[in-house]
A = this chain, B = another copy of it.
Amino acid sequence: MTRYVAVVGPGDAGPDLVALAEEVGARLARAGAVVLTGGLGGVMAAASRGAAEAGGLTVGLLPGADRAEANPHVRVAVPTGLGQGRNVLLVRACDVLICVGGSWGTLSEVALARRLGRPVVALAGWTVLDPTGRPVEDGILRASTAAQAVDLALRAIDR
């Protein structure tokens, strides 16, 4: 059974997040997973590049209506024309979601993933507190390295 893993994170990312995302993509590809992203830059491009260079299959679900927006490491580009509505598609299409870093768009994907019951692995992401100040952590798996993130993600699917 093919496993589909979404890698999400800021389109504008510093070198640390880029390195993490690239390693996450490479490890997923070596494990035979299809790597889904939002198809643009930053974390999305890095994860796609890592996966593509490791021989993996990369899919980009783009917000715009023009396929040319995709980063060059995306093998299958789907220009959805849904704007941020593509975030919902990305979450539906995956078995598990790995978030690398934080942004409002990224948080929307994490929240939608939990709403739809997908497990989430968080690398360097944002934390959510409920009104009593307690972290909301159901279904959120924290990782501190790319290797651990991929390991947790694949185990969350196979469970």
Q: Which A positions have Cβ atoms within 8 angstroms of B?
A: 4, 34, 57, 59, 61, 65, 67, 75-85, 87-89, 92-93, 101-105, 107-108, 111-112, 114-116, 124-131, 133, 136
What are 5 sample pairs from A and B whose C-beta atoms fall under 8 A apart? A57-B75, A78-B93, A84-B112, A87-B88, A108-B111
When distances are taken between beta carbons in the complex, the residues of chain B under 8 Å from A79 are 92-93
How many copies of the polypeptide does the oligomer hold? 4
Assess the A104–B93 pair: CB atoms within 8 A. Answer: no
With contacts A65-B92, A88-B88 taken as known, whether A130 is within 8 angstroms of B108 at the C-beta atoms is: no
Assess the B115–A111 pair: CB atoms within 8 A. Answer: no
* Chain B residue at minimum C-beta to C-beta distance from A63: B81
